[in-house]
Amino acid sequence: MPFLQKIFACSFVGLIFILPSAFAQGDKDASKVIGVDQCAMCHRNEHNVWQKTPHYATFNDMHKRPRAKEIAKKMGIKGSIKRKGMCKQCHYTVQGAKEKVISGISCESCHGPAKDWINVHNNAFMPKEERNQQVDAVGMIRPARIYNVAANCYQCHTVPNEKLVNVGGHPDTSLDFNLLTWSQGMVRHNFFRGRGKNMAPTQEHQRVLFVIGSALKLEYHLRGFAKATEKADYSVKMANKMKEAARELSKVAKAVPEASEIKDMLKTLKRVWKIKLGNEKAFLESAEEIKTLSESFVSKYDGSTLGALDSMIPSASEYKGQAIGE
């Protein structure tokens, strides 16, 4: 694949400075957030697991951490990061027009603000299929929509904000974020599937998470790089992660050549083989195509035919933290 070699041999050329676009963190509508207590009454096990994760703890400690204060200061944020500034988008759940911080990163951060779907979700009398259709239409992110639930992680965990990284000194792109290993350790709460026990992922499910993780890593680093304006920490790291993801995917493509979506994802990179700044459109186009291909991949494959990937898949000992209630 010569275009891949080109990607790896690329350099930064033709620096063009453009204004960074407004930073949009998904489409979480604060006016539709109902708060975690509304979920906890039926989902006790899930709530218990959540309370033991950094997603929960960030509510109580993040604003007090010296490191957070330092970053906020460099970003020109005065006062508590719980009340002001852009840190709220990723470190907390916000509610209402005033975007009041009500908890850490919570159920609705990952499954979607619930105001429009909670009453349908609760309606045990409605046939399940109809219920699923209705809640999906109004923004519930159900685990079956595996691409959507996973894309959410990357929106926060790739830290797609140049100033925050270059000026604030915020960690970029979560070092070693990996969908499979990060979703199946301390974060996992699959009690429904496990009939009361926190079920470990099946081999088939691991394969799908593994592939989609690499595809999302590529997609979100393309998106992140698209917004870069200067050759500095942020753009260099985004570019490196992008290349790392492309390498991962090319291994997947070799192992399961019948999955044409993966090859097609790599082909979209032709358009951006010169990894250079000021080329936002091309990077975003490539990211959009990869998104479409990922959605198509998850609708076609349940993992049962992807056994050739097994030697590449990280083992349970590499999961981030310990799952509770297995």
Interface ranges with ligand HEC (CB under 6 A): 34, 36, 38-39, 41-43, 46-47, 50, 54-55, 58, 62, 65, 67-68, 71-72, 75, 77, 81, 85-87, 89-91, 105-111, 114, 118, 121-122, 142-144, 149, 152-153, 156-157, 159-161, 164, 168, 170-171, 174-175, 182-183, 186-187, 189-193, 201, 320
Q: Which is nearer to ligand HEC, 157 or 207 (CB)?
A: 157
Q: How far is the CB of 252 from ligand HEC (least distance, A)?
A: 19
Instruction: Indicate the residue among 194 and 292 with the shorter CB distance to ligand HEC.
Output: 194
| Nearest residue to 283 via CA among 274, 293, 296 | 274
Q: Which residues of 211-248 are buried (b: 16+ CB within 10 A; e: fewer)?
A: bbbbbbbbbbbbbbbbbbbeeeebbebbbebbbebbeb
C-beta of 242: minimal distance to ligand HEC in Å? 17
Q: Which is nearer to ligand HEC, 39 or 290 (CB)?
A: 39
> In this complex, which beta carbon is closest to ligand HEC, that of residue 2 or of residue 127?
127
- The distance of Cα 191 from the centroid of its chain, to the nearest Å, equals 22
What is the token pair recorded at 116?
A: 């429009």
Residue 107: CB minimum distance to ligand HEC, A: 3
Cα angle 321, 164, 51; round to 5? 30
Nearer to ligand HEC, 81 or 265 (CB): 81
Which residues does 320 contact at the CB level (< 8 Å), separation at least 6?
A: 181, 182, 185, 186, 187
Work out how close the CB of 85 gets to ligand HEC at its nearest, in angstroms, rounded to a whole number.
Answer: 6
Of 4 and 68, which CB lies nearer to ligand HEC in the complex structure?
A: 68
Shortest reach from residue 276's CB to ligand HEC, in Å: 24
Distance CA 13, CA 165 (A): 21
Dihedral (Cα; 103, 107, 108, 109), 10-degree rounding = 70
Which SS3 state, helix, strand or coil, does residue 72 take?
Answer: helix
Q: How far is the CB of 166 from ligand HEC (least distance, A)?
A: 13
Given the complex with ligand HEC, which of 95 and 161 has the nearer CB atom?
Answer: 161
- 206 to each of 5, 46, 300, 301, 316, how far by Cα in Å? 29, 21, 15, 12, 10
> Cα–Cα distance between 243 and 238 in angstroms, integer?
9
Count Cα atoms within 13 angstroms, Cβ side, for 251.
14
Min CB(239)–ligand HEC separation in Å: 18
Residue 95 near residue 35, CB atoms below 8 Å: yes
- The set of residues, in sequence order, having a beta carbon less than 8 Å from that of 11 and lying 6+ positions away, is 275
Nearest distance from C-beta of residue 305 to ligand HEC, angstroms: 19
Q: Which is nearer to ligand HEC, 123 or 305 (CB)?
A: 123
